[in-house]
Amino acid sequence: MWEEVNLSPSTGNLLMDWVFVLTGLWAVIRFILVPLWKSWKAKLSLSYCPSIILPRFEKSFDHIRRIPSRRKNQKEHKVNLYRLTCSCHHGNSRRKYAPSQDIRRLCRHLRKELERSNLLLQYDELIQIIIDHRVKDTCYKIVQIQGDDVAIGFHPRSDFVRIYARRMAKQDPPEGPPTGHYDKFTFLLSQEIWIYGDPPPNAEIIIPTVNVVVSEHRNRYKKDSGGPEAVPIRT
Ligand SMILES: [Zn+2]
């Protein structure tokens, strides 16, 4: 006599258990581990570089301002000028990983709102020119050339270096120091040439300084198994 055995309910339950476990695993990887890994990688990438820490505005600026999006179908952005945060930071922007008050936090929305509120003028002229040029670099180093601040913007893996230095004013003697407005100059490291325009005053002092600063950070990058990827900061 044969006993009837029905396997289907227990097999079905087992299958459901597996689906449940695999879905849970996928969710943990997708929503916890991947974001943690991305955040660690981005923070590591930014930590390799020196940067500029901005002075904080008064506490009265510690509130949310709503900025309309440029795209019609997108919602507004919420920025806080005291904390230098923007709701776009919750997306793929690497700017959110920069430390508090770091100039690299300034996305397009924060930059525009600083400009619109005339708060940009509270920063010194060197900071203003870097912000005017959209804070594109991963590393910023301020050096003193002839007693004046010059900023070097670079990425350890890139051949392009942006220099923010003063131009000569009409009344300046040829030997300097330059006292004109700050401007951006672009230098191609491998060929040691200035591109997109004239060289800055004191180029003969700036070039060796740039070489020292960039090679020092390139070496630090190489030591740690090739360093993180050279991903430009966007928005
Ligand atoms: Zn933003």
Q: pLDDT digits over 36-51, tens only?
A: 888 787 777 777 789 9
Model pTM score: 0.79
Same domain, 148 and 202: yes
Q: How far is the CA of 107 from the centre of ligand 1 (A)?
A: 5
Q: How far is the CA of 87 from the centre of ligand 1 (A)?
A: 6
Res. 130: pLDDT tops 50: yes
Same domain, 85 and 55: yes
Report the mean per-residue pLDDT for the chain: 86
Q: How far is the CA of 77 from the centre of ligand 1 (A)?
A: 6
Q: How far is the CA of 213 from the centre of ligand 1 (A)?
A: 30
Total count of residues recorded for the chain: 235
Residue 131 to residue 120: CA distance in whole angstroms: 9
Q: How far is the CA of 99 from the centre of ligand 1 (A)?
A: 16
Same domain, 113 and 157: no
**Domain boundary residue, one of 123, 155, 187:** 123
Structurally, the chain folds into a number of domains equal to 2
Same domain, 74 and 159: no
Q: Residue 38 domain-assigned?
A: no
Protein residues within 5 Å, CB atom, of ion ligand 1? 86, 88, 107, 109
Q: How far is the CA of 207 from the centre of ligand 1 (A)?
A: 34
Q: Residue 184 domain-assigned?
A: yes
Res. 228: pLDDT tops 70: no
Q: How far is the CA of 163 from the centre of ligand 1 (A)?
A: 25
Same domain, 110 and 56: yes
**Domain boundary residue, one of 70, 96, 123:** 123
Same domain, 137 and 218: yes
**Structure-token pair, residue 143:** 């050096």
Domain, as residue range, for 198: 133-228
When comparing pLDDT for 142 and 1, which is higher? Answer: 142
Q: What is the predicted pLDDT for the residue at 225?
A: 45
Q: Residue 234 domain-assigned?
A: no
Residue 115 to residue 28: CA distance in whole angstroms: 41
Q: Residue 23 domain-assigned?
A: no
Same domain, 146 and 217: yes
Q: What is the predicted pLDDT for the residue at 43?
A: 77
Res. 231: pLDDT tops 50: no
